[in-house]
Amino acid sequence: MGAEHTGSRGDHPPGPVLESGPPPRLTAGSDGQRTTRPPTGFSYDPGMPRKSSIHKMGREYSLTFYCEDLPTDNAAVAAGRNPNGYFWEGVATFAFPALVKRLELDSEAGMFSAVGTNRDLKRLQKGIEPLLNDPGKLTELLTQAEAAGFEFED
């Protein structure tokens, strides 16, 4: 059976999908492990062009986007990063660690790919879209990651 497309650049996720709460900040959990809430101001703007899409393949869902010609490529390069699929796996892991633990990341150099439940992928999509579209937001996240000692594998 073919892949069923459940999102595109023009579609918008139904209703809020990210958890609400106070602005995100890096914090240490009670066990001393680093935890995060979604980065400040990185909520999805429905007027923003969608770069990623969610597809249904059999019983699984996949969130994908191509890593070429993104509006934030120059910001990533200016920060010394190579904005490929592995870099975006690092962005997702740093920004949304609890969510990424529930996903299977399967990126390549030219494409980001995450497999998981439709609900989790919609949450990731809503959180990562601003980072794909807004160089200032990506730069802010990369600054936070550097301060936290996070290592990207790009």
Of 41-45, 50-54, 86-90, 121-125, give the lowest mean pLDDT range: 41-45
Per-residue pLDDT reduced to its tens digit, 60-107: 999 999 998 899 999 999 999 999 999 999 999 999 999 999 999 999
Q: What is the distance between the alpha carbons of residues 118 and 131, in angstroms, rounded to a whole number?
A: 20
In the chain, what are the domain boundaries?
1-9+49-154
Chain-centroid distance of CA 108 in Å reads 15
Residue 146's pLDDT band (boundaries 50, 70, 90)? very high
Region 39-46: what's the mean pLDDT?
Answer: 46
Give the global pTM.
0.70
Q: What is the distance between the alpha carbons of residues 27 and 55, in angstroms, rounded to a whole number?
A: 33
Of 22-31, 49-58, 75-84, 106-115, give the lowest mean pLDDT range: 22-31
What separation in angstroms does the CA of 142 have from each of 9, 67, 146, 147, 149?
25, 17, 6, 9, 10
Tell me which of 3.30.1370, 1.20.1630, 3.30.379, 3.30.70 is the CATH number of domain 1-9+49-154.
3.30.1370
Q: What is the distance between the alpha carbons of residues 2 and 111, in angstroms, rounded to a whole number?
A: 20
Region 136-152: what's the mean pLDDT?
Answer: 94
Q: In 3-state terms, what secondary structure has residue 93?
A: helix
Which single residue is written with the structure tokens 């429905």? 46
